[in-house]
Amino acid sequence: MRSDMCRGGCYMPHLCSGRSAACLMRPKAYYPIFADLNGRRCVVVGGGPVAQRKVTTLLSYGADITLVSPTVTRRLTAYARQRRIRLVPRRFRAGDLAGAWLVYAATDDPAVNGLVYRTALKRRVLTNVVDQTPLCTFIAPAIVRRGALTAAVSTGGGSPSLAKLVRDDVRRILDAYAPMLGLLRSLRGIAKRAMPNYSDRKRYFDRLVRGRTLALVRTGHSGVVRREALALLKRKAAAI
């Protein structure tokens, strides 16, 4: 790091410790990553509609969820009764983040949200205080899922509404690609046995996604596509 830069990346080290207003005003660049939440302890603080959306999303990824709030929605209550989540019916305490991997703070109380953020920083827990980008160590993108095919759209916290609009456009694109992914995944094991060398397999799959195969999949000719893909694999393997 340059000697005239603070650890947050701005050029006012005499004013900034990396979390000052000067540093926080600098546009952030978020590193996109797809996290495995299956079985990991995730905490959601708050019991309203926003918290409900966060819990519902986390459940779809297999997270082990603890919800902390004195009041919760009917759906959240149902989740707790079904033992899909662990409900702690009181205000947040610092100890609630013990062993947590990430936390969402979705309350309308700035004091509680601030306590969640400070506690999470000390414990090095990934944190998102909803609609408070400066109090986030991660931000939630707009997500599109089509089976195993997932796309995430982010505006760096600048406009969630625009991110959702872009997500809707991306959804239409994924609708066309999802069947192709199913075909490619079904061929991986066969291709590994026929072509042990990674470079050979890469050329084969590149040929599939750039040739007429994708066009056929999009028009619903999956049976024809699979036969052609296997025939191409046989030719490629024989030529090695």
Q: Do 67 and 80 contact (CB within 8 A), yes or no?
A: yes
State how far the alpha carbon of 10 is from the alpha carbons of 65, 82, 156, in Å: 36, 48, 18
The pLDDT of 209-233, averaged and rounded, is: 81
**Model confidence band, residue 13 (pLDDT cutoffs 50, 70, 90):** very low
Look at residue 218 and tell me whether its pLDDT is greater than 80: no
Torsion of CA 14, 18, 19, 24, to 10 degrees: 90
Look at residue 183 and tell me whether its pLDDT is greater than 70: yes
Q: Supply the pTM of this predicted model.
A: 0.73
125-155 pLDDT per residue, tens: 999 999 998 999 998 888 888 888 888 888 8
Collapsing DSSP to helix, strand or coil, 108 comes out as: coil
pLDDT at residue 103, rounded to an integer: 98
pLDDT at residue 73, rounded to an integer: 98
State how far the alpha carbon of 161 is from the alpha carbons of 49, 52, 53, in Å: 17, 19, 16
Look at residue 16 and tell me whether its pLDDT is greater than 60: no
Q: Is the dihedral of CA 104, 109, 113, 119 positive or negative?
A: negative
Long-range contacts of 129-137 (CB under 8 A, 24+ apart): 129/104, 129/105, 130/46, 130/50, 130/54, 130/104, 130/105, 130/106, 133/28, 133/157, 134/24, 135/105
